[in-house]
Structure 1
Amino acid sequence: MTETPHLNQKFEQLEKAKQIPQNSVPKIQRVAHYLRDRKHFAKHYSPRLVSIGPIHHGAKNLQLGEKYKLMWAAKYLKRKKQDARALYETIASNIKRLKELFAEDVIEAFPDDEKLSWMLLVDGCALLQILEKGKLDYPEEMNVKVDQLVLLWQDVLLLENQIPYEVLKLLSGPKNDANLLNSMKEFLRCHHLSPDKPKQGAGKQDTAKEKTKDEDSKSTEGHNLQGESTAEITLEEDTPQGEQSEHRVEIIQEPIHLLDQLRRSVLKEPQKRHLDDQNTSEKFDIITYRNIQELRTVGIKLMTNKSHILTDISFSYHWLHLCAELKLPQITVDDTIAPTFLNLIAYEMCPDFKNNFEICSFVAFMDSLIDHPDDVKELRSSGVLLNVLGSDEEVAKLFNTISTDLVPDTEIYSHVRGQIEKHYRNKCRTWLTLGYHTYFSNPWAIIAFHAAVLAIVLTFIQAWFAIHPARDG
């Protein structure tokens, strides 16, 4: 066989392909085409007001956002007393390593490093201003109307609108990791999925305190542009007077970007496999229950989990196994629920992001419980779903739609599914729990039950005396 130069080149490409190293962290990239191409879904992946990063930079429908970003970047630089030229030089001197945090097709429109460095400077400073001052209660801090601020909140949490955390670290200054991470957490605390809700009564006093927050916090940093970033934060522990104080160094794993931080906050700790539950409970290859209505018919009661963490789902018994409860985290369903879940799902399905598909698994689990509007009604009645989207039918359709084409990790909730299935198939236990919920689930049911028992007793006594009348003397 005669090998041509073209064929030799192909063999060389094949040989080099096996030497391509795996990414240590997921890169900034586009939503996979098989997700974006789904009907009615594409709009949830694109920004409507502001582009952050290179993917949607320069889009015609986002020109107003370009003006806003310049204004916000200027406000940030003035507020922090930072020199724009010095920060630009910092980005430019690290641009070679920063480019490795983006997929190649994402920055191919930026062949000039100067253009890319300028975009990262403006977008990064604008995002830092958004994180610290983009509060819905005070839109005047950003010089925009509240409706635009709502759009901005949605835009900065899109997968294709992310900027690496490493860029934000360079722009926020040395020894400022703790403040940067705290500003991201505070920003996300107002998100409807956040388990850490803002304290009631927080107002302009809290906003004023933020002005001195940067000077009060101190930290030491350690990072690697090529790998997973960490921050060493020194905390001074309270000790009795006269005793030497100790310092505790806490290693904090830093996020990849803002969307990654949102995912971490709603999951909190990595999902454990509940090996004890899996080993002690039966495993079922086929799940026979279909939705919440069927679970209700066998006496399973829905409860709200106080933690609000998506992976915190449990099934348990109370009152001598007479009361079966399925605990679910509370979720607010509004106009932002679809883009939030879809972008979190798209992030988990990025080919270079190693994870256990916790968000995909949660959405698939909720979809398995919701088939009809009546299922949504039960979730509302139990306080699990706070529906501000519209009708129950819309919510049911939403979960059935966003769960399309998901590949969840079946092991994450297998212990819960197994316990529910075991209860569902146990007819004796089903009758007991159903009787408990029918006659003892609320005060009126208990009163009605006792009234019925009393009526039966009185009827029996009346019949007894009718058959055996009392005799005088």
Structure 2
Amino acid sequence: MTETPHLSQKFQQLQKAKETPKNAFPKIQRIAHYLRGRKHFAQHYSPRLVSIGPIHHGKPELELGEKYKLMWAAKYLERTKQDGQTLYQKIASNIEQLKERFAEDVIRDFPDDEKLSWMLFVDGCSLLQILEKGNLNDPHEMNVKVDQMVLVWQDVLLLENQLPYKVLKDLSGHQNDATLVDIMNNFLKCHHLSPVRADQRKENHDHKNEDRRNIFLTQNNEDGDESVYVNNEDTQQHEEHIIEVSKELPFHLLDQLRRYVLDDPQNESQHQKGAKKKSERNQNPNNEMTTYRNIGELRAAGIKLKVEKSRRLRDIHFSYRWKCLCAELTLPQITVDDTTTPSFHNLIAYEMCPDFENSFEICSFVAFMDSLIDHPEDVKELRSAKVLHNALGSDEEVAKLFNTISTDLVPNTESYSEVRWKIEKHYRKKHRAWIAQGYHTYFSNPWSIIAFHAALFAIVLTVIQTWFAINPRDPS
């Protein structure tokens, strides 16, 4: 068969496709159509007040946000005493490099480099102002109402609303990357997935250096007292150590949120070593399917829920206490509110980006929680164990939330495999379940212990009384 020029060109394209290099970093891109196209999901991917970056720029419904961004950018330049034209030139001179951080279809609508540079300059300055001054408890610094500030908080954490980290670094004026990441982390501390406990409170007091604050954290200890003062020098040193250990800067703000909520990088190597040793002892030999379904069934099998105070999503454990008398499933404490659904949707969409290499930690966590929650009664059990704080509404809404978010997820099968297998082994050994259930029924609180001993004492007295009735003492 004779090859035509057109067919020859097709084969050349086929050969080049094989040689296409992989991206060294995930590019800022649109949500995949198979995610956005799902019913009721699209609303969680689009900004409602402010667009950041090129994807949603210029939409009529976000016109008010454009005015706000200009105001915030101007306030940022005034506050930091930086020259706007100098900062703009930093962006313009690096525009070709910055364009590589976006997918091709994203910047296709910006053929004019000057227009793109100006947009990145304004959005970058306004985002830095949001990160440093976007306090929900004091929205007046941003010249907006608190309800608008809440929308801004949600908008800047959408996957399609991200700016490359380099844009923020060029505009921040900070020589040290640790300082900028510290600003990101301080902003993210108020997020519902933050490892900082929900009952902690932070009060910032400005001193001579506006970028350095004393941070007060208030937490309720077991006695109900409130305590703990954290000096900013310690906090700064801790954050800088985290940056040094992680050795990898975030790609954008959403990427930093994902890093922030998953684990503490300082303990990562130790966590991996411990997990490897444990997994070698607790492997599922035949990759058998699990048969338990939800919290209700686990409770029926005598498994008690326990809250993990670290709040890190990876901290899920199954263990026994009192020589296998008490079985416990330890889960991280989470808060469910109006921001939970868009947060999980965008983190999941980020993990599913084809150019982002990861282990699907967020997908796996959501899938694991979905396996535990089938009914509102399961949510009630989680609330009773103080694992879940429901700020959304009814327990039925929370159950529906996890059942909906987990639709079409493909989690990492290795995640929580050790925990699943331990639960499965317990679930299959009925005698352990009976022992654990008996312990939970009769020894889980002081009243049940008192009732058990009272009943036991009554039985002993009855036996003694019966014995003496059958064998009366001879008076002679």
Q: Is the structural similarity TM-score above 0.5? A: yes
Return the letter of the residue paired with 2:399. Answer: A
CA distance in 1 between counterparts of 2:236 and 2:17 reads 50
Structure 1 residues 175 and 389, CA, compared in 2 at 3 Å: closer, same or farther?
same
The DSSP-based 3-state class of the residue aligned with 1:316 is strand
Which residue of structure 1 lines up, in the alignment, with residue 157 of structure 2?
157
Task: Work out which of the residue numbers 306, 309, 320 in structure 1 matches 2:309.
Answer: 306
Superposition pairs of residues 41-60 of structure 1, within 5 angstroms: 41-60=41-60
Which residue of structure 2 lines up, in the alignment, with residue 116 of structure 1?
116
Task: Work out which of the residue numbers 197, 206, 209 in structure 2 matches 1:208.
Answer: 206
Asked if the contact 2:72–2:126 (Cα under 8 Å) also holds between the matched residues in 1, the reply is yes
Deviations 1:29-68 (A, max 9, x none): 0111111111111100000010000000011110000000
Which residue of structure 2 lines up, in the alignment, with residue 281 of structure 1?
282
Return the letter of the residue paired with 2:381. Answer: E
CA distance in 2 between counterparts of 1:99 and 1:210 reads 38
Deviation at 1:213, TM superposition (A): 2.4
Structure 1 residues 8 and 282, CA, compared in 2 at 3 Å: closer, same or farther?
closer
Asked if the contact 1:367–1:399 (Cα under 8 Å) also holds between the matched residues in 2, the reply is yes
Asked if the contact 2:206–2:213 (Cα under 8 Å) also holds between the matched residues in 1, the reply is no
Which residue of structure 2 lines up, in the alignment, with residue 177 of structure 1?
177
Which residue of structure 2 lines up, in the alignment, with residue 243 of structure 1?
none
Which residue of structure 2 lines up, in the alignment, with residue 332 of structure 1?
335
Q: Which runs of 5+ in 2 are unaligned?
A: 215-234, 238-242
CA distance in 2 between counterparts of 1:286 and 1:359 reads 22
Structure 1 residues 171 and 105, CA, compared in 2 at 3 Å: closer, same or farther?
same
The DSSP-based 3-state class of the residue aligned with 1:320 is coil
Structure 1 residues 199 and 458, CA, compared in 2 at 3 Å: closer, same or farther?
closer
Asked if the contact 1:179–1:214 (Cα under 8 Å) also holds between the matched residues in 2, the reply is no
Cα RMSD for the two superposed structures: 2.2
The DSSP-based 3-state class of the residue aligned with 1:181 is helix
CA distance in 2 between counterparts of 1:66 and 1:301 reads 51
Task: Work out which of the residue numbers 363, 370, 375 in structure 2 matches 1:372.
Answer: 375
Structure 1 residues 249 and 61, CA, compared in 2 at 3 Å: closer, same or farther?
closer
Asked if the contact 2:91–2:120 (Cα under 8 Å) also holds between the matched residues in 1, the reply is yes
CA distance in 1 between counterparts of 2:185 and 2:304 reads 34
Superposition pairs of residues 384-395 of structure 1, within 5 angstroms: 384-395=387-398
Structure 1 residues 401 and 272, CA, compared in 2 at 3 Å: closer, same or farther?
farther
Return the letter of the residue paired with 2:175. Answer: K
Which residue of structure 1 lines up, in the alignment, with residue 451 of structure 2?
448
Which residue of structure 1 lines up, in the alignment, with residue 417 of structure 2?
414
Superposition pairs of residues 125-144 of structure 1, within 5 angstroms: 125-144=125-144
Structure 1 residues 415 and 199, CA, compared in 2 at 3 Å: closer, same or farther?
closer
CA distance in 1 between counterparts of 2:30 and 2:394 reads 33
CA distance in 2 between counterparts of 1:282 and 1:181 reads 38
Return the letter of the residue paired with 2:102. Answer: F
The DSSP-based 3-state class of the residue aligned with 2:104 is coil
Return the letter of the residue paired with 1:422. Answer: K
CA distance in 2 between counterparts of 1:236 and 1:277 reads 34
Return the letter of the residue paired with 1:426. Answer: K
Task: Work out which of the residue numbers 452, 458, 462 in structure 2 matches 1:459.
Answer: 462
Which residue of structure 2 lines up, in the alignment, with residue 398 of structure 1?
401
Return the letter of the residue paired with 1:103. Answer: A
CA distance in 2 between counterparts of 1:346 and 1:78 reads 36
The DSSP-based 3-state class of the residue aligned with 1:325 is strand
Deviation at 1:135, TM superposition (A): 0.7
Which residue of structure 2 lines up, in the alignment, with residue 89 of structure 1?
89
How many residue pairs get aligned? The number is 443
Return the letter of the residue paired with 1:267. Answer: L
Task: Work out which of the residue numbers 243, 251, 270 in structure 2 matches 1:256.
Answer: 251
Return the letter of the residue paired with 2:156. Answer: V
The DSSP-based 3-state class of the residue aligned with 1:301 is strand
CA distance in 2 between counterparts of 1:210 and 1:308 reads 34
Deviation at 1:13, TM superposition (A): 1.8
Deviation at 1:279, TM superposition (A): 2.3
Return the letter of the residue paired with 1:261. Answer: Q
- Asked if 1:352 is matched to 2:333, the reply is no
CA distance in 2 between counterparts of 1:354 and 1:210 reads 43
The DSSP-based 3-state class of the residue aligned with 2:38 is coil
Structure 1 residues 351 and 200, CA, compared in 2 at 3 Å: closer, same or farther?
closer
CA distance in 2 between counterparts of 1:214 and 1:172 reads 15
Superposition pairs of residues 177-196 of structure 1, within 5 angstroms: 177-196=177-196
CA distance in 1 between counterparts of 2:463 and 2:452 reads 17
Deviations 1:402-430 (A, max 9, x none): 00111100111110001000111112211
Asked if the contact 2:197–2:309 (Cα under 8 Å) also holds between the matched residues in 1, the reply is no
CA distance in 1 between counterparts of 2:280 and 2:66 reads 56
Structure 1 residues 430 and 210, CA, compared in 2 at 3 Å: closer, same or farther?
farther
Which residue of structure 1 lines up, in the alignment, with residue 221 of structure 2?
none
Deviations 1:69-105 (A, max 9, x none): 0000000011111111111111010000100000000
- Asked if 1:297 is matched to 2:300, the reply is yes
Deviation at 1:306, TM superposition (A): 1.3
Deviation at 1:200, TM superposition (A): 4.9
The DSSP-based 3-state class of the residue aligned with 1:213 is coil
CA distance in 1 between counterparts of 2:394 and 2:272 reads 35
The DSSP-based 3-state class of the residue aligned with 1:324 is strand
CA distance in 2 between counterparts of 1:415 and 1:438 reads 27
Structure 1 residues 199 and 322, CA, compared in 2 at 3 Å: closer, same or farther?
closer
Structure 1 residues 202 and 215, CA, compared in 2 at 3 Å: closer, same or farther?
closer
Asked if the contact 2:55–2:161 (Cα under 8 Å) also holds between the matched residues in 1, the reply is yes
